[in-house]
Amino acid sequence: MGKFTGTLTTSAKFRMEASLPTKKKKIFSRSKKDKGKEKKEYNDYLEDICQLIDRYHSTPKYLVMQRQEILMEIITACSSCAGPGLADRDDPLHIKAIKALGYFCIGKIQREQARAETIEKLVNTTGPRGLRGAFRFEKLNKPGLPGMRGDDLTKLTGDDALMEETLLQEYGIELTGNDGQDYYMLKKLIKEARGTGNAGVSKWGLIYMDQDQRNRYKLSFTTNQVLRNGNPYTTVDRDENIYAASPAGTIFACSVIDEGRKDFTAIYERMGFNTGAFMHHTSFLSGADVLCAGTLVVNAGRLLSITNMSGHYKPDINNLQGICAAIIGAGYDPRTDGFASFWDFDGDIFPHLKTTPSRGNPTGGNLFDFPLAEFVRDGHMISNPASYAQHPIVAPVAAPASTWVTGTVGAGSGKGKGKRGNFLRGG
């Protein structure tokens, strides 16, 4: 179903179409057969309907439920005046106009409800590595235009009292709990807010790429090199370098500030949005599901490390193994300088190798720099994982068999046991 649900006529146009012929003073509703009831003059009905049309058009588009309630009032008024159902061939033109308006309003409500259901499916249908919680609201942003992060649209948790006012709070709106209605309303609200002229507010900085934009950051592989736009790729040492891979294994990557923020801030300023741009893992695929996402370090075309560190997607060890397998499957030879840097954020995969919990690592998870080819072959069954741990172990014990099979993790970064890659906590 298309996005367009039809535009309600104006009161001026409807008054012309539904006005009585000059010789007729009044016409009563066909549906009122009880002659004992006082019947309302036709022109009064016409005026009531025109006022409802004006009220509908003056109600903001993001107030979806209120606008639909007005449409219901119009339907009732049209039925009371001209009778229910479609116009008969013998009906006079003004009655046909009233019945046509009522029929249009019924169809518009149905089309909007169908549109809401479609949006609900798009937002809620997610794979193992899709956006959940308040992050899912980011999918309502339109690729190629300035967007808002999930925590700028609505609260991520109940402890956000000190955070900047969300878009919902700014407009004094609360979610109903009906996903379809809420998503449809928020999509309208985002469009409304973006067009109000509040172009300078910082919350409009989320980057959501369209197809042409993301292709500029697409990686390809030869036997010995990682390429972007046909040239050997090198990440920026002083910056966070992030990537996201589509379910098919296509990787898109760039540095957060030197490339992503710089490129898109310039694009947004040309649109009139004088704000810094925010690059997240969701930016590349516009919130769609990923195979994996995290950070990476590449030097002169050689992949030194690739991680699973993404706060939005929280890839597990199988996701990291999957993208590493896709890289080797593309023909790349990791040799001895390529590492899969796995962050066992919650310590679920290797609980016997936990570290001392700290403020930056409250769960005591550990970072492991596995040789890439070996990791692709063995995954969580890799031998002697303790030898690849990057942080001191609290109390190493024998690993229970079950820990080698199941687990869900957070994220991390690094290259071997030497130079570390940059960390991105929360994108």
Q: Which residues contact 298 (CB under 8 A, 6 or more apart)?
A: 226, 233, 234, 235, 241, 253, 304
Residues 273 and 381 reside in one and the same domain: yes
Q: What pLDDT was estimated at residue 421?
A: 33
The one-character DSSP state at 278 is: B
Residues 216 and 117 reside in one and the same domain: no
Round to whole Å and give the CA distance between 89 and 188.
Answer: 39
Q: Does a structural domain hold residue 68?
A: yes
Q: Does a structural domain hold residue 361?
A: yes
Q: Does a structural domain hold residue 78?
A: yes
Q: Does a structural domain hold residue 150?
A: no
How many structural domains are present in the chain?
2
- Global pTM reads 0.79
Residues 112 and 216 reside in one and the same domain: no
Q: Length of the chain, please?
A: 427
Round to whole Å and give the CA distance between 294 and 334.
Answer: 18
Q: Specify whether the CB–CB gap between 206 and 278 falls below 8 A.
A: yes
Q: What pLDDT was estimated at residue 22?
A: 58
Which candidate, 226, 247, 244, places its Cα nearest to that of 235? 226
Place of tokens 């009563």: 28
Boundary of a domain, candidates 72, 103, 124: 124
Residues 243 and 390 reside in one and the same domain: yes
**301-350 confidence digits (pLDDT tens):** 999 999 999 988 999 999 999 999 999 999 999 999 999 999 998 888 99
Task: Name the 3-class secondary structure at 176.
Answer: coil
Q: What pLDDT was estimated at residue 69?
A: 97
Domain ranges, residue 396? 211-404
Q: Does a structural domain hold residue 97?
A: yes
Tell me the mean pLDDT per 10 residues along the chain, length 427: 72 90 50 44 89 97 95 94 76 89 95 95 89 87 88 64 71 90 93 69 82 95 96 90 96 92 87 81 94 96 96 92 97 96 91 82 86 96 92 60 36 35 34
The one-character DSSP state at 140 is: G
Round to whole Å and give the CA distance between 105 and 70.
Answer: 9
Residues 238 and 355 reside in one and the same domain: yes
Q: What burial class does residue 3 get, using C-beta atoms within 10 Å of its C-beta: 0-12 exposed, 13-18 middle, 19+ buried?
A: exposed
Residues 113 and 229 reside in one and the same domain: no
Q: Does a structural domain hold residue 164?
A: no
Phi, psi of 349 (to 5 degrees): -80, -45
Q: What pLDDT was estimated at residue 415?
A: 35
Phi, psi of 231 (to 5 degrees): -115, 150
Beta strands (DSSP E) in 82-195 are: none
Phi, psi of 243 (to 5 degrees): -145, 160
Boundary of a domain, candidates 124, 158, 191: 124
Q: Which residues contact 305 (CB under 8 A, 6 or more apart)?
A: 296, 297, 338, 339, 340, 341, 369, 413, 414, 415, 416, 421
Residues 250 and 376 reside in one and the same domain: yes
Which candidate, 118, 306, 142, 123, places its Cα nearest to that of 208? 142
Q: What is the largest CA-CA distance in the chain?
A: 98
Residues 120 and 215 reside in one and the same domain: no
Residues 254 and 368 reside in one and the same domain: yes
Angle at 348 between CA 363 and CA 283, to 5 degrees: 75
CA 100 to chain centre: 38
Residues 279 and 382 reside in one and the same domain: yes
Q: Does a structural domain hold residue 182?
A: no
Round to whole Å and give the CA distance between 85 and 44.
Answer: 21
Residues 107 and 231 reside in one and the same domain: no
Place of tokens 């014990």: 397
Q: What burial class does residue 44 get, using C-beta atoms within 10 Å of its C-beta: 0-12 exposed, 13-18 middle, 19+ buried?
A: exposed
Residues 363 and 216 reside in one and the same domain: yes
Q: What pLDDT was estimated at residue 2?
A: 43
